[in-house]
Chains A and B, each alone.
Chain A
Amino acid sequence: MIRAAVQFERRDFSLEVDFQTEGDVTGIFGPSGAGKTTLINLIAGLERPDRGSIILDETTLFDERKSVDVPVHRRRMGVVFQEHRLFPNYSVEGNLRYGSQRGSEDFHPIVELLELGSLLQKRVQQLSGGERQRVALGRALLSNPRLLLLDEPLASLDQRLRQQVIPYLRRVRDEWAVPMLYVSHDLTEILQLTEQLLILDRGQSVGQGRYADVVHQDAVQAIVHDRGMNNVLVARVLAHQPEEGISLLEIGPSLDSAQSSPRKLVAPLSSSPVGTNVLISIRPWDIALAAEPVHGVSIQNQVRGVVTRCSNHERSVLVDVQIGSPIMVEISRRSAATLNVRTDQPITCLIKTRAIQYVGTQ
């Protein structure tokens, strides 16, 4: 667990954040210029806060009052930067081993986890962008860090490469017991890794906590709404029906499965094999609500659920519906009034097949 209460001022920028992480992965989200990278640099020790303290578990890394400032190389922070920052004068293996002074027994497991075996003898210049970030991730992990700081690790990659690297990040999250701070300006990307968020804007913390909770706060809405507010759900592929151009999915197989029965979704044809789990995203404004199931429409998905929360915002109403997984729906205030949406109300979510996007495999 990391706890940081820091102030940092420069001529044209100031950061003042007080936060504490919970859980294994915390996503730091915010528009560019919000101070995400500065915060990472402060925690890593690459920049020095003007005031405040940074505490990791029981270790004080920085405390301005007590004049504690652990130097970068003793902080044991694994950092993956936006640019790979691999050492051009070392091979891939040399890069990986650079941070593990002693012969690390983790070497082979990590090489296997990130599938780096065939790259070991290559030079950095011969790697593709995605491979470079995988090596950078492996290099950081092999330094045996107490906390992994990922600063927009996918920002330099195109969409296709991103989708190739994210599964490795999830593997690290699931198989390597190291807490992470994951910085991104892409909310959907963060949501593929964690629901725990710290939202920054102009050097200030705007909200902190589970995505499903903080998203209802006005200040968070203002930041998140036009910057990738999204539902990211886990779904299992049940069947493909290529002649109809669709695949059948089942949502909620792993999340809260005890609570409610899984729901089926008709989604665009998927390339993932039957039985695998995929991550899908549905924009909150691509879902319509109806009091009763509707007849005679082209919309393929009519999922019954219960309203668990709704919050009013400047332009819209945000409604949480439990449909096996919690899902967030945005409707206009007028619609909300017409439907008279309230908590605990049974409701039908109408989701067009086309509104379902695949964002990755699990």
Chain B
Amino acid sequence: MWTSEEWSALLLSLRVSLWSVAIMLIPGIGCAWLLARKKFNGKLLVDALVHLPLALPPVVVGYLLLLAFGRRGWIGGLLFDNWGVEIAFTWKAAAIASAVMGFPLLVRSVRLAIELVDVRIEQAARTLGSSPARVFLTITLPLAMPGVLAGIVLAFARSLGEFGATITFAGNIEGVTRTLPVAIYTYTQTPGGDPPAMRLVLISIGLSFGALVLSEILARRVGRRIGMTT
């Protein structure tokens, strides 16, 4: 029923989305903690910078990434000259584009969750001899876990739908960077492409729906474990 092109678009989308979440997870949680718990000069600026991809047209983000990661860009040039690694117009570019676009969603969600963790409970953990890092790993993070999960799902879903930045930075190469939305767009531009486009649309809906339901189930289970619901 499905063609290999459709399959490859689906698998590629999943791979790109999972990788994008993987690369943004630790910086995202770190950034969220910083914004939730620390006071520092230029916090407003960092906050704005984190949220910029939400406000910018995705094409702009994609183009900026292309400038930075292209073979002559300052990061891309470094990578290519030293290790022969190419980023732009590969699936890695699609993952990076998705990560940048999903980053603010992850940070927002985690930050809110960390802000809801009672500082006084963290203080109690400190008085029991726990270093700040241990307090974060044993108290703050577990208690913020529902928010972290929600953030991951949001970012993942955003990633599945990423189009503008991806097509600018990673291109539209079949089997390499043609993710679900790019593939749908391509089919709609092709005569007779409506039936496959429709099938991919249905897959997209199913995937996003599944992710959201899964996250709800996980959030409930975690919530019970940390005693937020009974």
Contact = CB atoms under 8 A, between A and B. Distances in A.
A89 B227 contact: yes
Contacts of B121: 85, 87-88
A83 B226 CA distance: 18
A139 B225 CA distance: 21
A45 B228 CA distance: 29
A211 to B, nearest CB: 28
Contact of A88 (B123, B125, B128, B227): B227
Interface residues of B, number: 22
A93 B132 CA distance: 22
Interface string B126-160: 11111110000011001100000000000000000
B4 interface: no
Interface string A53-85: 000000000000000000111111111010101
B139 A73 contact: no
Name the residue in A45, A86, A89 with the highest tally of chain B Cβ atoms < 10 Å from its Cβ.
A89
A46 interface: yes
Interface string B42-66: 0000000000000000000000000
Interface string A264-290: 000000000000000000000000000
A: interface residue count bin: 20 to 34
A38 interface: no
B211 interface: no
Contact of B127 (A73, A86, A123): A73
A138 to B, nearest CB: 12
B120 A81 contact: yes
Interface in B192-228: 225-228
A89 B225 contact: yes
Contacts of B23: none
A259 interface: no
A99 B128 CA distance: 5
A83 B128 contact: no
B3 interface: no
A89 B121 CA distance: 11
A312 B131 CA distance: 53
Name the residue in B124, B128, B226 with the highest tally of chain A Cβ atoms < 10 Å from its Cβ.
B128
B230 interface: yes
B128 A143 contact: yes
Contacts of B228: 88
Contacts of A143: 127-129
Nearest to B135: A73
Contact of A81 (B124, B126, B142): B124
A228 to B, nearest CB: 27
B143 A88 contact: yes
B131 A88 contact: no
A78 B230 contact: no
A143 B128 CA distance: 6
Contact of A77 (B127, B130, B139, B142): B127
B230 A125 contact: yes
A44 B142 contact: no
Contacts of B230: 125
Contacts of B227: 88-89, 123-125
B131 A85 contact: no
Nearest to B141: A89
Nearest to A44: B127
A101 B129 contact: yes
15 contacts: A45-B127, A46-B126, A71-B126, A72-B127, A73-B128, A75-B127, A85-B118, A86-B124, A89-B225, A89-B226, A99-B128, A99-B130, A123-B227, A125-B227, A143-B128
Interface of B: 118, 120-121, 123-132, 138-139, 142-143, 225-228, 230
Given A46-B123, A89-B139, 18 more contacts: A44-B127, A46-B127, A72-B126, A73-B130, A77-B127, A79-B124, A83-B120, A86-B124, A87-B121, A88-B227, A89-B142, A89-B227, A98-B130, A101-B129, A123-B227, A125-B227, A139-B128, A143-B128
List the 9 closest A-B pairs by CB distance, nearest first.
Answer: A99-B128, A88-B227, A85-B124, A89-B226, A72-B126, A79-B127, A89-B142, A143-B128, A125-B227
Interface of A: 44-46, 71-79, 81, 83, 85-89, 98-99, 101, 123-125, 139-140, 143
